[in-house]
Structures are given as C-alpha cells and as structure tokens.
Chains A and B, each alone.
Chain A
Amino acid sequence: MRLEHEWLTFKGVILRHFKEFVSYRASVLATIIWPLPLLALNVYQYLGLASEQQVGQILSSKYGISSFSGMIILGTVVYLLYNRMLWGTGASLQEERFNGTIEALLLTPANRMTILLASGFSSLLEGAWWIVGVFLLSWIIFGVQPAVSDWGAVIVALLSTMIALVAVGVFFASFFVLTRAADQLATSLQAPIRYASGVAFPVAALPVVFQLLAYILPVTYGIEALRSTVVQQGTLAGLVWVLGPLYIFTFVLIVTGHFVLRRVEAQAKRTGSLYKI
C-alpha cells in the first residue's frame, strides 16, 4: 500500500462527490433545509400534545433531561448524518452499478476501502451543515443553550460518532453489493432504526423489546454520547460506557465491511455478475 496512491484515490473520490453534489442546485438547497421539517415534526409531536413547560417538567422528572429541544435536536442531527451515510456511502457502489461503472471501478488497482472511506468522508462534509446549521437554528428558534462542562468530551463524542457513522456507511456499501435488494432492506430498516435509536426520546422510554434493539445500533450510542456531553454536562470519564460499545461497533463494522467486500468482489468477478442489477 503506497500512501501517495491512497491519498490520490481519496482526493479523487472526494472531488468527484463534491462536484456531483454541487452540480444540482436544487439538491444543495434541499440538503440545507431538510433538517427543518424533520426537526419541526419531532418537536411538534410533543408540543401538539402539551405545552413546552409541561413537556420539559415531565422529561426532567422521568428521565433527568433538562433540555427538551436539545434532546430532539441532537437526536435528529445524528439520525440525519446516519441517513446521509446510508444513502451517500452505503449506496455508492450500488449507484456505480446502476450507472454501469462498477466493473470499470473494480478493475482499477485502487484500494476499495480507501474509496469507501473517502465516500464516507465526503458524505460527512455534505452533512456538516446539519451540525453547524441545526445548532445555530436551534439557538435562534428554540433558544437552546448548550450545557457543556467539558468541551473536550463534546469533541471526542462528535468525532467518535462521525467515525462510527462512516463505519456504518462502509459496512452497508459492502452489504449493498452482496445483495441486490439491499437498498430495499435499508429503506425498510430506516423507520425502525429512527424509532429504536431514540431520536425523539430517551431509549428508556421505549417498550422493552425495542430497548433491546436500541443497544445493538451504533446510532443509539452516538445520540447518547452527544446528548450527555452537550445538554447534560457529561464529562469524558462518564462517556466510557457509551463510547466503549461505539468503538467496538466501529471496529466490527469496518472489518466486516472490508471482508465482505473482498469476498463479494472475488465471487462476482468469478461468476461475472458484478454488473447485474
């Protein structure tokens, strides 16, 4: 593996994705405003039932959550990033197949993992607005004040979540090539994952069966880590129990993704079925 080649591949994929992204002005605009209706829906699922004061009191007394809108906003941001990974990185190889370019791509000597990691990184760049913009809007619209006691913990939580989400994207990308119906599977999993990972409420509020599901989802830990550090004054030491499983998931997903991709590629090349949709 030559670092120079890897860097060229990485840069090439990022530039390509960026050009594709900015070529459609409507897409850029949609990316910018998409979090708003989703955020508003999550907030009004509460405020359509009871006043903000009531909701705040209930969440604080039952689950120790001091910021209702902060809880929703952080959940929504992580979910949006997960979604971007799923459809940006996860579907990237499937997209090559649809475009008829997957054979050409996999004939090159470029490192597949570098391609996928670059794809994940560019999806993160595209979604970066959501982190900055949503916090800015939350501050303006909802008056959300972060309750941070350890900025180091916030940065670690954010970076760990982003890396874990890239790992999810890499895993799905390999998985998408393995089964031709993976995009349908991902679509079907979207709503259960949004529900079980506790985007709109603490995981403890879920029925027991969904709580079990929640703890096998990396998104849950990402949301938990960010909520803890941004609105609940969590510190780095207190994050160990959340970040531990997140790192394990990241490792397992990357390694599994790598081996699945290698195996699928070899098999598809042997059977000549790489291009089949």
Chain B
Amino acid sequence: MGFEFDFDVFKGSYRYSLLQTFRYMNAGFFIGLQVLGPIFLLLTSWTILQIIGPSAVTTFVNTSGFTDYVPFVIIGFAFQAVIMNAVWSGSNGIRNEQQQGTVEAIFVTPANKIAWMLGKIAGNITMALVSTFIVLTIGSLALSFTLKASPDILAAAFGVLLTLIGMTAFAFALAGLTFLTKKTEDINQVLWTSLVFFTGLAFPVEALPAWAQAISSIFPITYGLSITRGAILRGNHVLDPQLLFPEVSILVLTSIYIPIGYFSFKILFDRSRRKGALTGY
C-alpha cells in the first residue's frame, strides 16, 4: 500500500474522531471532562491559594523560581486535556470498536492500522488543543494576575507542539495495551490522575520527593509544561539556555516512545489476532 492510501486512512480516521466529539452522544463528555474538569481543578488550586494566602507560598517560590502561582497553575491545568486525551484516545479507540463489534471488520481491511490509530489519536489531541485554549482563556479572564515578563509566543507554541508530539507517541504506546487488558476504563482513571500528579500541573515537580521526580521525568508533558511556562512567564525564547534541557529531553523521550508504541502495538495486535481474542472480553 502506498503513502497516499495510508494518508487517506489517517485522514478518514482523524475526521471521524473529530466528528465523534461533537455528536450528541459525546459532546457532554468533552464539556465535562475536558472543560469543566480542568477548570474546577484550577479553582481548587486557586481556593487553596486563598486559604494559604498568596504571600505564604514559600515552597512554591523556592522550588519553581516563579513568584505568581495563578498563571503557573492556569498553564498547568490548560494541559490537562492533553493528558486525558493521551491516556484515553488510543485505548478508547480500540475499546469502542470492540464494544460496538466493529473491531474485527476494521482489522481485516487492508488499511494501515498504524495510520488508522494515529488518525484517532490526532483527532483527540486536536480536541485537547481546543480545550487548552478554552481553559487558558477562562482561567485568564476569571482569575486575576499580572505577567512579569512579555511572553514569547513562538517559544510557547513550540512547547505546546513538542508536548503534543511527545504525548501522541506516549498515547500510541498505551493503545496496544488495550489488546491485552481489554477493560481499560479503570486503568485509564489511575493513569490520568497519576499523570496530573507527577507532571506538576498544580505545583512544581521540584516540590515532590526525589523518587516522584524521577517518575515525572519519563513523561514528555513534564518538559512541555516547563517550556511553555518558561516562555510565557519568563519570556524565554526557543534557544534560551533555560529551555534547552526540557527541549532536548522531550525530543529524546519522543524518539523513545515512537518505536516503543509502534512495536508494542504491532506485537500485541498480532498476538490477539493469533489467539482470536480481538473481540474477546
């Protein structure tokens, strides 16, 4: 099969994934999980800030190097949808087809399954970007703060782009696991809350114990957040030495997750086909 055919598969799967979000059956999930979810977590952090008092946030100031917590946490929770989509998109893509009884039909077609899966993930990641924008806008309008430096939009966009690529690779690595575990909802619940915790959406990862910091360093979004926060809150540019480490780290992680995702998906898919367990519960 040629590249053109694979691209058509990708495009079809991408379009389906986007349309599915806005259909009657799914629009509420988007609002609930990707808009209200991060906004209320943001409100939780804001309320905790009001309890402690903005002048008493010594741990935050000492570990993050930033002085204002509000924009820090707005940027953090704006990325929550990226986490949710990375965790759910791949596995749900397969799981939904299993539940609807269409997974076998899809997998007997000559279409490239990798292109099909990438299309699904890309569609979800695009929606995550919409959610990121909504949360950033609502957070910035509802909670008052002043930026200390003029943001470098190019570097911030670069940070978001790298995060999306890195998390797509991560999502791909997770997708194959669905063939193995079947019922993924409960695992995904654990995964997304763990990622929200370890990647420092609500607080600097430097405030975590060393073992937890080591875990947070394996997720691309930890570095993506670091780049975006640096660009918006400190005005760091793309080639700024302060952004060099997170930029290199995210690229290295992406290059690791892509082959892991590709091969694990292929191996687990082939295994479940051999066993005849593609649709098995």
Cβ-closest chain A residue relative to B41? A191
Once A41-B197, A50-B58, A205-B50 are accepted as A-B contacts, the answer to whether A26 and B29 lie under 8 Å apart by CB is no
Once A58-B53, A191-B37, A195-B43 are accepted as A-B contacts, the answer to whether A48 and B59 lie under 8 Å apart by CB is yes
Is A26's CB under 8 angstroms from B181's CB? Answer: yes
- B51 is contacted by which of A40, A59, A183 (Cβ under 8 Å)? A59
Q: Which residues of chain A are within 8 angstroms of B25 by Cβ–Cβ distance?
A: 181, 184, 277
Q: Which residues of chain A are within 8 angstroms of B29 by Cβ–Cβ distance?
A: 184, 187
Q: Which residues of chain B are within 8 angstroms of A206 by Cβ–Cβ distance?
A: 47
Q: Which residues of chain A are within 8 angstroms of B48 by Cβ–Cβ distance?
A: 45-46, 49, 200-201
- B189 is contacted by which of A34, A187, A200 (Cβ under 8 Å)? A34
Q: How far is the CA of A30 from the CA of B193 in the complex (A)?
A: 12
Is A54's CB under 8 angstroms from B197's CB? Answer: no
Q: How far is the CA of A98 from the CA of B35 in the complex (A)?
A: 26
Is B41's CB under 8 angstroms from A205's CB? Answer: no
Contact string against B for A residues 47-60, beta-carbon threshold 8 Å, 1 for contact and 0 otherwise: 11111001100110
Once A48-B60, A58-B52, A58-B53 are accepted as A-B contacts, the answer to whether A187 and B186 lie under 8 Å apart by CB is no
Q: How far is the CB of A16 from chain B (nearest CB, A)?
A: 15
Determine chain A's interface SS by DSSP, over half rule.
Answer: helix
Q: Which residues of chain A are within 8 angstroms of B99 by Cβ–Cβ distance?
A: 98
Once A44-B207, A187-B29, A200-B48 are accepted as A-B contacts, the answer to whether A26 and B41 lie under 8 Å apart by CB is no
Cβ of B56 within 8 Å of any chain A Cβ, yes or no, is: yes
Is A49's CB under 8 angstroms from B37's CB? Answer: no
Cβ of B183 within 8 Å of any chain A Cβ, yes or no, is: yes
Query: How many residues of A are in contact with the other chain, CB < 8 A?
Result: 44
Cβ-closest chain B residue relative to A32? B190
Cβ of A15 within 8 Å of any chain B Cβ, yes or no, is: no
Q: Which residues of chain A are within 8 angstroms of B59 by Cβ–Cβ distance?
A: 47-51
24 A-B residue pairs with CB within 8 Å = A24-B183, A26-B182, A26-B183, A26-B187, A34-B186, A34-B193, A37-B196, A37-B197, A44-B202, A44-B203, A46-B52, A48-B60, A50-B58, A51-B58, A58-B51, A58-B53, A181-B25, A183-B28, A195-B40, A200-B44, A205-B47, A205-B50, A206-B47, A277-B25
* A contact residues vs B (CB 8 Å cutoff): 24, 26-27, 29-31, 33-34, 37-38, 40-41, 44-51, 54-55, 58-59, 62, 98, 181, 183-185, 187-192, 194-195, 200-201, 205-207, 277
Given contacts A58-B51, A195-B47, A207-B47, list 6 more A-B pairs with CB under 8 A. A34-B190, A49-B59, A55-B52, A181-B25, A187-B33, A205-B51
* B contact residues vs A (CB 8 Å cutoff): 24-29, 31-33, 36-37, 39-41, 43-45, 47-53, 56-60, 63, 69, 99, 181-187, 189-190, 193-194, 196-197, 200, 202-204, 207-208
Give me the 7 closest cross-chain CB pairs, A-B, nearest first: A48-B203, A184-B28, A188-B32, A187-B32, A30-B186, A191-B40, A37-B193
